[in-house]
Structure 1
């Protein structure tokens, strides 16, 4: 069934009107062939329904995916072995679909094991804590350059970071200590990127691992939902996992295109007409609102080339985010990606006092 899901995945997806017509034709085929679906009386636990692959092909593969019948599942979304199954719906978000179409048109990097991918970026994230003036929240900004091994974890990476002038979190003053931190001497010293990396193996973001991921949208969609259930929480986590494969990570063109098409199919994905990254560049964004947090996470792309620029988080619910609707409370900008044979030697991290 996985092979069937990936069949002719390179063919552009049909328009919604065409999908509806195909769905109606498929439903008519089901009605004309009742023996394909079990007619046994339902038990206490829903019975698994099996659909002929031959009928799916005859009725239209895209319509089958849109109707949610591409893989045989029971009412709880499990396969015959009780494993959670995620059927990729028809991708609806257009920015990511366009990005997938253009994934192979830029300069392609081909790093080798033993080398490093070097990412230069700007970031803005929330910071909060107790200061001399009291408890405070503000937006912490950095310019960073990261050497990430082609094969390895963040523990093997090196970072050179520099603090930039902080910005206020809406409704909060910037503490003086935060302003002084941006002027501290000794910045720009190579440090180890992380002291530990406790991510699950399937969340690795080194190139050696990412280059082994599925090249079909359906396969990548299943990867994004690894060990996740069903529902809004699972969809939010799958969308968040996309950011881990974009922010300081590099995928081969085939996996990149598959990632964009898979992300475009995550329930709730939508388009934001204008978005600005942490470097001030304006583009168009694919976004998904997380009503639990009152925030919308956006992936920003160049309007013409659909090259990935960065991401930002904006407020959609003032009460939950404790900031006015439309406020930008996090952002990043990927400025450059290149390959290097070596990385700077990290020095010991500075400790307070």
Structure 2
């Protein structure tokens, strides 16, 4: 039995307080953590730094235990040497989806792609097409991506499906253009992303398996604050969409994602293929949407992602409208890329 399962069982008989109580408890705990006065008094009294650090950790652990009793989950993330760990607190329901997904990461058959092979992603998508004619484009796609993420690039085959109207807008005639089958064709060879944003298997399989270090990876190159949190949440999605992580890194990613401030749970979410699941979500206030990562309600296997309007003025669409969505249908390994049309 791992630590998270023990925590879940420990709090199973504790009545859930209402949201106002949770917020009040969280504010008191954060205020106590932020107060350095007790520790500074010990340092001025001549106590050795190592002993002071132990007391800091004990203090944090005591607050964590109090938080569990209050119906709050605490995730500790390593800070600078000599400083206490950073504690992120979330209501139990907010972290449940990602924690369960982490616990179940080893339940599914594992892929073991080798150099020279391709990971094949089959999905169904819906995306907003902007410009003078705005509508929702729908497609099924199959993408071959090299395991090493090298300059050979990837390949794509797609079937453009009947479009949908953008909420509140008429469906323009040009939305019906270019329907039908396309490809296989080569994707662009040039990838100008920095090293830490790579999503090929060779890179992802070398990422940390410890949640705290994975959390630090998500924030690489970012400063603290709301914009950094939004970007970190987007990076989680980049590592889930058409990317494959070994189970250990996948579990670490889910636990790290649960520690990003602002994460909530959506009890019902439907992916682009019509599968209903439960989602871990976070609101992007600059776009007026809630970005949801959807998981199977029973197995907690990742299903897909969608963006739902929460601010009509920002998104230019009614609240509750789905503007983008995808469903990851299958991931497999191929020894070679498909034959490109005409070659």
TM-score normalised to structure 2 length: 0.80
Distance in 1, Cα, partners of 2:258 & 2:252: 10
Aligned residues of 1:62 and 1:90 also touching (Cα < 8 A) = no
CA shift, 1:180, in A, is: 2.5
Q: Secondary structure at the match of 2:159?
A: strand
Provide the residue aligned with 1:152 in structure 2: 149
**CA separation of 1:155/1:293 partners in 2, compared to 1, >3 Å: closer, same or farther?**
farther
Structure 1: unaligned runs, 5 residues or longer:
1-9, 41-48, 80-84, 130-134
Provide the residue aligned with 1:71 in structure 2: 79
Provide the residue aligned with 1:89 in structure 2: 88
Structure 2: unaligned runs, 5 residues or longer:
15-24, 65-72
Provide the residue aligned with 2:69 in structure 1: none
Q: 1:153-180, CA deviations, whole angstroms, 9 ceiling, x for partnerless residues?
A: 5861111111111111011122212212
Q: Secondary structure at the match of 1:170?
A: coil
Aligned residues of 1:122 and 1:335 also touching (Cα < 8 A) = yes
Aligned residues of 1:154 and 1:193 also touching (Cα < 8 A) = no
User: How many residue pairs align between the two structures?
Assistant: 311
Match of 1:273 among 264, 267, 275: 267
Provide the residue aligned with 1:128 in structure 2: 130
Q: 1:209-245, CA deviations, whole angstroms, 9 ceiling, x for partnerless residues?
A: 0011010110000000000011110000000000100
Distance in 2, Cα, partners of 1:221 & 1:298: 19
Q: Cα RMSD (Å) of the superposition?
A: 3.5
Q: Which has the higher helix share?
A: 2
1:138-287 pair list within 5 angstroms? 138-153=135-150, 156-183=153-180, 187-287=181-281
CA shift, 1:73, in A, is: 8.1
Distance in 1, Cα, partners of 2:216 & 2:122: 30
Distance in 1, Cα, partners of 2:238 & 2:175: 27
CA shift, 1:55, in A, is: 2.4
1:327-346 pair list within 5 angstroms? 327-346=321-340
Aligned residues of 2:39 and 2:52 also touching (Cα < 8 A) = no
Distance in 1, Cα, partners of 2:247 & 2:197: 19
**CA separation of 1:236/1:348 partners in 2, compared to 1, >3 Å: closer, same or farther?**
farther
Aligned residues of 2:97 and 2:278 also touching (Cα < 8 A) = yes
**CA separation of 1:195/1:115 partners in 2, compared to 1, >3 Å: closer, same or farther?**
closer
Aligned residues of 2:76 and 2:212 also touching (Cα < 8 A) = no
Distance in 1, Cα, partners of 2:148 & 2:63: 40
Provide the residue aligned with 2:309 in structure 1: 315
